[in-house]
Chains A and B, each alone.
Chain A
Amino acid sequence: MINEGKKRIWKDYQKEIADDRYFYVRSCIRQNFFPASEKAFLRIMQEELKKDVFENAAHTTCSGIGYHSDVVPFDTTMTVIARQFSLMTESGNENLVTSCITSFGLYNEVLETWKHFPDVLKKVRGYLKTATGREFEIPKNVAHASDVIFRFRKEISAIGVNRLVHHETGRPLKVVEHIGCHYSKMFPSKGVGGAEYPYVLVGMVEEWGGEVIDYPERRHCCGFGFRQYLVRANRGYSLANSKKKFESMKPYKPDFILTNCPGCPMFLDRWQYTLSEMEGVTYGENGRGIPVLTYEELAGLILGYDPWDLGLQVHQVPVEPLLDKMGIQYDTSRKFLGKDGQDLGRPDAPSVLKFF
């Protein structure tokens, strides 16, 4: 592997990421999957980096999953997205930040459509006006939330208390970075580092002391391809995708997987349990799985946030081996307590995957 070659490509795919005053649009599924990630993003941005992040509770799904599943027509999707832009415009902001990769890809798809077909933009403005009486401006800057964390990776590192190194040996932790397909595969120039060798997560890992693994199935889908997962009869394909990735990364002995998409951490985490039950296989050390983190969770760990405040207890693959390597203290007795201190109960242990 010639890293200089990758660096040259990374230089070709730089993108502008706004510095402040973000209008944040949340994912419609992440809060069910890894509920604390979006909260961690807001905490990091507002409390640590002192940035202004605006939200509007009236904002909705971008309709991306419905659109990609062919149940929502494109005109409807464009009008829904136009409405999100109207909320941003009404709040006096111009920098849009999406939590979801599918949304990020779809916002870019819609903006590119409007750029090349101004008549379509005019039509959608009409739809929105008729349906809601609203108007909107095109955002000046569209970024994914991982772009924003990437932009401030050095600042996070400077105030961070933990590093991606084994706290006893000083060994850089080995990280598999997995990029959501809709981040840059459709529009390479919209992603940090392009489509083939994206840099957005690599930059974070390197800045925070870790070492990225480049394994053969790095580019492969996590298994959350909508048509594979949403259609029950196709769900085996979803599992096969994830399995292909695990088999490919296993020989490199990754310490954890880092993701930037709502679906990827879900599937790379949960399917490890499923595969262990179906085939008796595990991919981590000593019968454990490979921990999977979102970039907000990782940034939170670097900043010294309590793992249970980051929601790491809802991961199917336990993250404690990673916390131990990083030398992060955690209170086992608090793992299954709710925010109000109420005991939520312990889940049943899987039959193969080592959980407790």
Chain B
Amino acid sequence: MAKTVVIVGGGVAGMTAASRLADLGEKVLLLEREEEIGGHLRNWDRLFPNRRPGSEVLHDLKETLGNRVEIRCNESPGEIHSLQSSFIVELESGEKITCDAVLMATGFDLFDARRKEEYGYGIYDNVITSADLERMLRSGSPVTTSAGKAPSRVGFVHCVGSRDEKAGNLYCSKVCCVTGVKQAIEIKEHLPGSEVFGFYMDLRMYDRHFEEMYYEAQQKWEINFLRGRVSECAENEDQSIVLKIEDTLTSRPLKMTVDLLVLLVGFVQKPETVRIAKLLGISIGEDRFLECLDEHTRFNYTGKPGIFVAGTSRGPLTIANTIADAGEAALQIHNYLKTLK
């Protein structure tokens, strides 16, 4: 008899694990708290490094799910109770579901850029986040300032809320550097006459094609990358943004004006994931991401039999790495279920 797996979270990790488990003959219930599955991928226009539309990847992931998986949207677990070798997941609607394993695929939240008060997000009209820009690009409307004008100068601030002790996040969010390079190129594609600047600590182009993309940004698109942190932003009378930066390569302070400033926000743990983790007794790291049993060989195990973790709820990952991680989680869950009587 097929065992039942409840997957909490219908983003990239949840969808991938669900289809793999279905491939392996397991019964899956996929819970998604939003009105649709897809997670953050639903809001992303094009993906690095090849600028492929995010909708294509989302379509592929949905296709592999087919009709083999029960999907419940607008639904999330209220309580989860551990029994001898099974779990009762009590949904917020009050319904109780008995299952044999739970996969935490709850994903991440984007860092709330308002917490970096010096950048003025939520105060200055022309300071936006990478997610805001992605929405703008996805809508198909032209990239404009808040006044509806084409920006002639655009700045990107890297590591907003990542590798930042003051923000309480020492970790690297892994995807923002390359997202910044991708979005900078996209600005040049939309507005060839614009000047684009990236302000970075160091650029972590660690994966295949990333470095090439960074070269393309500089050589083909003439995007300027300046090493140094932005110390503060202020608004001019015309709502353009004045930046104060330390250029750490020339060891000089720098002041410049941009029409649009994009903050490359990183990953943070969801408070809801922390709540569920506490219910289940899963360890939470100092960075608030879920701990796994072993970083190298048992990264989908939480140490609690029957409770597994996949995707970005255990730390920042790219989409490709999330898919690989979730596939591995499905296999580990399948092997675990075989051990149950």
Question: Is the Cβ of B236 less than 8 Å from the Cβ of A9?
Answer: no
| Cross-interface CB contact of A218 among B118, B122, B125, B234, cutoff 8 Å | B234
Given contacts A1-B125, A2-B123, contact A214 B118 (CB under 8 A): no
| Cross-interface CB contact of B125 among A2, A6, A194, A197, cutoff 8 Å | A2
Q: Mark B232-247, 1 if CB is under 8 A from A, else 0.
A: 1011110100100000
Question: Is the Cβ of A219 less than 8 Å from the Cβ of B125?
Answer: no
CB distance from B240 to the nearest CB of A (A): 9
| Cross-interface CB contact of B234 among A6, A195, A219, cutoff 8 Å | A219
Instruction: Confirm or deny: B117 has a beta carbon within 8 angstroms of a beta carbon on chain A.
Output: yes
CB distance from B147 to the nearest CB of A (A): 13
CA A356 to CA B236, docked complex, whole Å: 34
CB distance from B251 to the nearest CB of A (A): 17
Secondary structure at the B interface, as helix, strand, loop or mixed, is loop
A350 proximity list for chain B (CB < 8 A): none
Which partner residue on chain B sits nearest A7 by CB separation? B123
Instruction: Confirm or deny: A206 has a beta carbon within 8 angstroms of a beta carbon on chain B.
Output: no
A5 proximity list for chain B (CB < 8 A): 114, 120-123
Which partner residue on chain A sits nearest B146 by CB separation? A2
Instruction: Confirm or deny: B225 has a beta carbon within 8 angstroms of a beta carbon on chain A.
Output: no
Instruction: Confirm or deny: B221 has a beta carbon within 8 angstroms of a beta carbon on chain A.
Output: no
Question: Is the Cβ of A1 less than 8 Å from the Cβ of B236?
Answer: no
Question: Is the Cβ of A1 less than 8 Å from the Cβ of B235?
Answer: yes
A1 proximity list for chain B (CB < 8 A): 123-125, 235, 239
Q: Which residues 262-283 of A sit at the B interface, judged by CB distance below 8 A?
A: none
Q: Mark A1-36, 1 if CB is under 8 A from B, else 0.
A: 110111011000000000000000000000000000
Instruction: Confirm or deny: A287 has a beta carbon within 8 angstroms of a beta carbon on chain B.
Output: no
B242 proximity list for chain A (CB < 8 A): 216
CB distance from A91 to the nearest CB of B (A): 38
CA A195 to CA B87, docked complex, whole Å: 49
Instruction: Confirm or deny: A217 has a beta carbon within 8 angstroms of a beta carbon on chain B.
Output: yes
Which partner residue on chain B sits nearest A6 by CB separation? B123
Given contacts A2-B123, A6-B123, contact A196 B118 (CB under 8 A): yes
CA A217 to CA B283, docked complex, whole Å: 46
Instruction: Confirm or deny: A251 has a beta carbon within 8 angstroms of a beta carbon on chain B.
Output: yes
Interface centre among B114, B122, B123, B239 (most CB of A within 10 A): B123
Instruction: Confirm or deny: A252 has a beta carbon within 8 angstroms of a beta carbon on chain B.
Output: yes
Q: Which residues 89-145 of B sit at the A interface, judged by CB distance below 8 A?
A: 114, 117-118, 120-125
Which partner residue on chain A sits nearest B117 by CB separation? A196
Question: Is the Cβ of A216 less than 8 Å from the Cβ of B117?
Answer: no
Q: Mark A72-111, 1 if CB is under 8 A from B, else 0.
A: 0000000000000000000000000000000000000000
Given contacts A2-B123, A5-B123, contact A197 B235 (CB under 8 A): no
Question: Is the Cβ of B123 less than 8 Å from the Cβ of A219?
Answer: no
Q: Mark B153-185, 1 if CB is under 8 A from A, else 0.
A: 000000000000000000000000000000000
| Cross-interface CB contact of B114 among A8, A195, A251, A252, cutoff 8 Å | A8
Q: Mark A190-228, 1 if CB is under 8 A from B, else 0.
A: 000011110000000000000000111111000000000
CA A8 to CA B118, docked complex, whole Å: 14
B114 proximity list for chain A (CB < 8 A): 5, 8-9
CA A6 to CA B123, docked complex, whole Å: 6
Interface centre among A196, A197, A214 (most CB of B within 10 A): A196
| Cross-interface CB contact of A216 among B122, B123, B234, cutoff 8 Å | B234
Given contacts A216-B235, A216-B236, A216-B242, contact A2 B118 (CB under 8 A): no
B236 proximity list for chain A (CB < 8 A): 216
Question: Is the Cβ of B235 less than 8 Å from the Cβ of A214?
Answer: yes
Given contacts A9-B117, A216-B242, A219-B232, contact A252 B125 (CB under 8 A): no
Question: Is the Cβ of A2 less than 8 Å from the Cβ of B124?
Answer: yes
CA A8 to CA B122, docked complex, whole Å: 9
A194 proximity list for chain B (CB < 8 A): 117
Which partner residue on chain B sits nearest A12 by CB separation? B117
CB distance from B230 to the nearest CB of A (A): 13
CA A195 to CA B117, docked complex, whole Å: 9
A8 proximity list for chain B (CB < 8 A): 114, 122
A196 proximity list for chain B (CB < 8 A): 117-118, 120, 232
B120 proximity list for chain A (CB < 8 A): 5, 196
Q: Could you tell me which B residues sit within 8 Å of A by CB distance? A: 114, 117-118, 120-125, 232, 234-237, 239, 242
23 sampled A-B residue pairs with Cβ under 8 A: A1-B123, A1-B124, A2-B122, A2-B123, A2-B124, A2-B125, A4-B122, A5-B114, A5-B120, A5-B122, A5-B123, A6-B123, A9-B123, A194-B117, A196-B117, A196-B118, A196-B232, A216-B234, A216-B236, A216-B242, A217-B234, A218-B234, A219-B234
- Not counting A216-B236, A219-B234, a sample of 4 additional A-B residue pairs whose C-beta atoms are within 8 angstroms of each other reads A5-B121, A5-B122, A214-B235, A251-B237
Q: Could you tell me which A residues sit within 8 Å of B by CB distance? A: 1-2, 4-6, 8-9, 194-197, 214-219, 251-252
